[in-house]
Amino acid sequence: MLKFFSRLAHLSRRPYSLALAFLAFGITILIGEPGLLWAQQTDDLELGRRAATAEPPQGLSASQLKISLGAGLISAPEFEGGKKYEVRVLPVVELAYDRLFLSLSKGLGFRVIDDGTFTVAPSIRYWSGRDENDSHLLKGLGDVDDGLAAGAMLSYSPGDLTIFLNGYHGLGDADGLTLEAGAAVTHQFLENLHASAEISTMFADEDYNQRYFGINAKQARDSRYRVYHADSGFKHVALGGTVSYSLTKSINLGLFGEYKLLTGPAADSPLVKRGSKNQISSGLMLGFNLR
């Protein structure tokens, strides 16, 4: 471990060498494991982004071209509602120019309103699916296909406080509606040290909850679960935080963690009852601001 941090400190004096080495490692991992890039929940990707870039929630402002890349390791449940944990790679890719942005956590979008305090940003983002082979608890339930969702992010940021509301509706076969609301506080403790804390909740409609937590008749026959119809309702409440330390002007080392409590139709699902309604994720990130 000491050798690792010694090597990291040496490379941090040459940020572009470190960036290229880390990016090559990330590409190798992603090519070697097809689909790994999208194996994360959006909230994990967002917390990882903030830890790797030292940016506030919803923060994608850039008056000129901005590129941020990063990757790290995350410990998280095998699937949302699972009780066993696994460690996997968490990537960060951020591109922004003026009001246009491309982000793994926020999708492809455009800030139609951005006055420094109030922001409205429509976007199209990715909704990750689920593989039946991800856990023995999923046997007989089949795969949940990946999909796209369209919607918008709204935020109000008077100083260190950010209040946000995000709404998205699935496209095509990825049907469903989610509304996420929350508040976050960011603070710069030292010149190189930033931290944030966030509380949020998500409402999901019947189609979305049935997609991830429902059990239809065929699934009940193929598995050991009873038929369960998931209604609309509040899916979860979550409390998370990040700590970011700037090794150089271009390199950030970050930690993040989140506790999520599944509620309502999600918590009542037979799948979650065999798994766990308590979901904890944590990770270590390294990010590079290339521009």
In order along its 291 residues, the chain shows pLDDT tens digits of 444 434 444 444 444 444 444 444 444 334 334 344 444 577 888 999 999 988 878 766 556 788 999 999 999 999 999 999 999 999 999 999 889 999 998 999 999 999 889 999 999 999 989 999 999 999 999 999 999 999 999 999 998 999 999 999 999 888 899 999 999 999 999 889 999 999 999 999 999 999 999 999 999 999 999 999 999 999 999 999 999 999 998 999 999 999 999 999 999 999 999 999 999 999 999 999 887
Q: Which residues contact 74 (CB under 8 A, 6 or more apart)?
A: 40, 44, 48, 87, 88, 89, 90, 281, 282, 283
Find the DSSP H helices in 13-94: 15-32, 42-53
Distance, CA of 153 to CA of 113 (rounded, Å)? 11
Instruction: Identify the CATH number of the domain defined by range 2-289.
Output: 2.40.160.40
Q: Which residues contact 203 (CB under 8 A, 6 or more apart)?
A: 178, 179, 180, 232, 233, 234, 235
Number of helices (H) and strands (E), helices first, in the chain? 7, 13
Distance, CA of 24 to CA of 116 (rounded, Å)? 35
pTM of the full predicted structure?
Answer: 0.84
Spell out the domain ranges in the chain.
Answer: 2-289
Q: Which residues contact 28 (CB under 8 A, 6 or more apart)?
A: none
| 3-state DSSP assignment of residue 270 | helix
User: What residue type is 32 in one-letter code?
Assistant: G
Question: Tell me, what DSSP letter sits at residue 55?
Answer: P
Are 50 and 44 spatial neighbours (Cβ–Cβ below 8 Å)? no
* pLDDT, position 40: 57
pLDDT in tens, 3-62: 443 444 444 444 444 444 444 444 433 433 434 444 457 788 899 999 998 887 876 655
Number of residues assigned to the chain = 291
Are 165 and 179 spatial neighbours (Cβ–Cβ below 8 Å)? yes
CA-CA-CA-CA dihedral for 188, 189, 193, 196, to nearest 10: -60
* pLDDT, position 59: 67
Q: How far is CA 109 from CA 73, 100, 121, in A?
A: 27, 6, 6
Cα angle for residues 46, 100, 21 (degrees, 5° grid): 55
User: What residue type is 87 in one-letter code?
Assistant: V
pLDDT in tens, 100-117: 999 998 999 999 999 889
